[in-house]
């Protein structure tokens, strides 16, 4: 099974992340999301396809967090929404 995730825009509101660091956030987010979906699969209600207009990451990301931590947390949050069971 192939899963294609398209993220049109990632808004990092309130974080002290510059343009250069944003690429690190994106790369880490993609890696984390791929890991979650590989481990858990896709949620059953998304198996037939579909779109989600918006996902919001938890407010627990520190505003001074390193780009890699920010990307990892966002990837986990998205994976938690899109991913299947933890079993």
pLDDT tens, residue order, the chain (87 aa): 677 777 888 888 788 888 889 889 989 999 999 899 888 888 888 887 877 788 777 677 777 888 999 999 989 988 888 888 755
Which pLDDT score is estimated for 87? Answer: 52
Contact 42, 3 (CB under 8 A): yes
Which pLDDT score is estimated for 5? Answer: 77
Which pLDDT score is estimated for 44? Answer: 84
83 beta partners: 42
Query: Counting Cβ atoms within 10 Å, is residue 20 exposed (0-12), middle (13-18) or buried (19+)?
Result: exposed
What tokens were used for 34?
A: 């791929």
Contact 85, 37 (CB under 8 A): no
């Amino acid at each position: 099974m192939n899963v294609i995730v398209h993220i049109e825009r990632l808004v990092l509101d309130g974080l002290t992340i510059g343009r250069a660091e944003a690429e690190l956030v994106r790369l880490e987010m993609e890696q984390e999301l791929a890991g979650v979906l590989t481990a858990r699969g896709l949620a059953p209600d998304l198996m037939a396809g579909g779109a989600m207009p918006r996902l919001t990451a938890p407010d627990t990301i520190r505003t001074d967090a390193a780009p890699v931590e920010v990307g990892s947390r966002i990837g986990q949050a998205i994976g938690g929404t899109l991913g299947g069971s933890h079993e």
